[in-house]
């Protein structure tokens, strides 16, 4: 497999699932949706592999539409204009991005650039007065995330992060069951997410662009999953790293196992890797029952079962549901889901602690002191 995108698409059929099983529309999944007088108009910033997935998915959206692009690669412009009907006036580059402020055809910019550019690009877009959704990990560290949140608040714009699973039916059902007490007191969580990364020259293996390795890229799924599986925030972290290829992974982490301690006494045992495949699961054990999602974090279809049997939730296109859901928040004033900059900051605080523990040979790092 040559890339993270290939891994996620092959592991979890994703957009291609339409050929195998009927997908539920955003409207049927979220019947509270109200069709507004206008759609949320979105510009994609950074036209790499994931932007293509989002763009294709948005063809299913009922409340959001793709109306603009921001790219530093001029050779991509003609294809995107042709595929998605983007007019010349809605095409931007990184040099003239500030002029997007004057374009009424764009309400929100979706940032899918490399991780370490997120901080810079969120500050730039916030200054234009456009709403923002940024892919995860939101930044290189918690301090950058705080600065991004502050900039968006100052500009009066919405700031979301691409936690698409918060709109995914199996994930939402697990959270509903946990909140309803159907698992009883949570006793243990075991989550992991990883894959064997391909091209050794790609940006994800360069710290200056990626910010870190597997922990930043896909470890955030296991971490965020532990938080919504318990409904708590971690108070301590310990972590260990295994590195088998010190050439390929010279700049970033390869395989990390980490533990999260929660106020109730629950310990989540988590892992992430760039070195092998078939490593994706969320497992929750409670006094009254259990839940297992496997696959748990890819683009779909997610699979799940509990002590009551198969979860049998509808299959959806995650990115379409995410964009319709966020459009519903912005246009109709429905409550924001757990996809805000503040949600991402909580993950970044824990990720910072993971890396601190690695630097200190696995020492326990207390988050309440950070």
Cα 302 to Cα 7, 9, 202, 218: the distances in Å are 15, 12, 28, 16
**In the structure, what pLDDT confidence band is assigned to residue 21 with cuts at 50, 70 and 90?**
very low
Q: Kindly list the structural domains of the chain, giving each domain's residue range(s) and its CATH number in brackets, ordered by start.
A: 32-164 (3.40.50.720), 169-313+340-369 (3.30.360.10)
Instruction: Give the CA angle between residues 113, 229, 219 to the nearest 5°.
Output: 35
In this predicted structure, what is the pLDDT of residue 300?
A: 84
13 vs 235 pLDDT, higher one: 235
In this predicted structure, what is the pLDDT of residue 12?
A: 41
For residue 226, is pLDDT > 80?
yes
Query: 331 φ, ψ to 5°?
Result: -85, -35
Please tell me the distance from the alpha carbon of residue 43 to that of residue 53, in angstroms, as a whole number: 14
What secondary structure, in 3-state letters, does 10-78 show? HHCCHHHHHHCCCCCCHHHHCCCCCCCCCCEEEEEECCCHHHHHHHHHHHHCCCEEEEEEECCCHHHHH
**In the structure, what pLDDT confidence band is assigned to residue 302 with cuts at 50, 70 and 90?**
very high
Q: Walk across the sheet containing 159-161 and list its strands.
A: 91-92, 64-70, 40-45, 108-111, 131-134, 159-161
In this predicted structure, what is the pLDDT of residue 27?
A: 53
For residue 305, is pLDDT > 80?
yes
In this predicted structure, what is the pLDDT of residue 182?
A: 98
What letters, b where the CB count within 10 A reaches 16 and e where it falls short, cover 115-143?
A: bbbbbebbbbbbebebbbbbbbbbbbbbe
For residue 36, is pLDDT > 80?
no
Is the CB of residue 51 less than 8 Å from the CB of residue 134?
no
Q: Which of 257, 287, 274, 242 is nearest to 190 (CA)?
A: 257
For residue 24, is pLDDT > 70?
no
In this predicted structure, what is the pLDDT of residue 2?
A: 45
For residue 219, is pLDDT > 70?
yes
**In the structure, what pLDDT confidence band is assigned to residue 35 with cuts at 50, 70 and 90?**
low
Of 14-28, 39-53, 146-160, 176-190, the range with the lowest mean pLDDT is 14-28
Please compute the mean of the pLDDT values over residues 13-18 and round it to a whole number: 35
Please compute the mean of the pLDDT values over residues 334-350 and round it to a whole number: 94
3-state secondary structure of 229: helix
In this predicted structure, what is the pLDDT of residue 335?
A: 87
Cα 19 to Cα 27, 146, 216: the distances in Å are 20, 42, 32
Q: Where are the alpha helices (DSSP H) in 184-218?
A: 207-210, 214-217
In this predicted structure, what is the pLDDT of residue 10?
A: 46
Instruction: Give the CA-trace dihedral at 168, 171, 172, 178, to 10 degrees.
Output: 180
Cα dihedral 130, 133, 137, 141 sign: positive
**In the structure, what pLDDT confidence band is assigned to residue 15 with cuts at 50, 70 and 90?**
very low
What is the average pLDDT value for the chain, to the nearest integer?
92
The bridge status of strand 91-92 relative to strand 309-310 is unpaired
In this predicted structure, what is the pLDDT of residue 30?
A: 56
Q: Tens of pLDDT along 105-150?
A: 999 999 999 999 999 999 999 999 999 999 999 999 999 999 999 9
Query: 368 φ, ψ to 5°?
Result: -70, -5
In this predicted structure, what is the pLDDT of residue 160?
A: 98
For residue 169, is pLDDT > 60?
yes
Give bridge partners of residue 92 from the DSSP assignment. Answer: 70
In this predicted structure, what is the pLDDT of residue 25?
A: 52
Please tell me the distance from the alpha carbon of residue 111 to that of residue 65, in angstroms, as a whole number: 15
Token readout for 346 is 């909580």
Please compute the mean of the pLDDT values over residues 349-368 and round it to a whole number: 97
Q: What is the CA radius of gyration of the chain?
A: 20
3-state secondary structure of 259: strand
Q: Tens of pLDDT along 229-250?
A: 999 999 999 999 999 999 999 9
Q: Where are the alpha helices (DSSP H) in 156-254?
A: 169-179, 207-210, 214-217, 219-230
């Amino acid at each position: 497999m040559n890339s993270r995108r290939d891994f996620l698409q092959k592991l979890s059929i994703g957009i291609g699932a339409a050929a195998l099983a009927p997908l539920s529309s955003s409207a049927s999944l979220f019947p509270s949706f109200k069709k507004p007088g206008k759609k949320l108009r979105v510009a994609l910033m950074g036209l790499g592999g994931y932007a293509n997935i989002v763009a294709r998915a948005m063809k299913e959206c009922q409340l959001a539409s793709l109306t603009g692009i921001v790219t530093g690669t001029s050779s991509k412009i003609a294809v995107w204009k042709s595929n998605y009907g983007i007019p010349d006036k809605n095409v931007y580059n990184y040099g003239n991005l500030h002029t997007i402020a004057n374009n009424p055809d764009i309400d929100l910019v979706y940032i899918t650039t490399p991780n370490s550019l997120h901080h810079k690009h969120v500050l730039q877009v916030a200054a234009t007065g456009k709403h923002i959704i940024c892919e995860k990990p939101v930044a290189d560290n918690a301090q950058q995330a705080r600065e991004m949140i502050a900039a968006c608040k100052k500009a009066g714009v919405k700031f979301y992060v691409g936690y698409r699973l918060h709109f995914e039916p199996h994930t939402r059902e697990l959270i509903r069951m946990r909140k309803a007490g159907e698992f009883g007191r949570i006793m243990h969580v075991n989550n992991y997410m990883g894959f064997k990364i391909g091209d050794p020259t790609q940006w994800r293996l360069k710290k200056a662009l990626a910010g870190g390795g597997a922990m930043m890229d896909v470890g955030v799924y296991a971490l965020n999953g532990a938080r919504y599986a318990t409904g708590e925030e971690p108070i301590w972290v310990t972590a260990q790293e295994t590195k088998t290829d010190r050439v390929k992974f010279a700049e970033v982490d390869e395989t990390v196992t980490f533990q999260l301690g929660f106020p109730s006494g629950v310990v989540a045992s988590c892992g992430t890797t760039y070195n092998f495949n078939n490593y994706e699961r969320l497992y929750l054990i409670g006094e009254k029952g259990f839940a297992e999602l496997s696959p748990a974090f890819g683009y779909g279809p997610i699979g799940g079962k509990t002590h009551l049997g198969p979860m049998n939730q509808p299959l959806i296109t995650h990115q379409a549901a995410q964009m319709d859901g966020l459009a519903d928040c912005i246009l109709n004033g429905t409550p924001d889901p757990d996809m805000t900059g503040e949600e991402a900051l909580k993950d970044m605080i824990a990720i910072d602690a993971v890396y601190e523990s690695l630097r200190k040979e696995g020492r326990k790092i207390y988050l309440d002191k950070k």
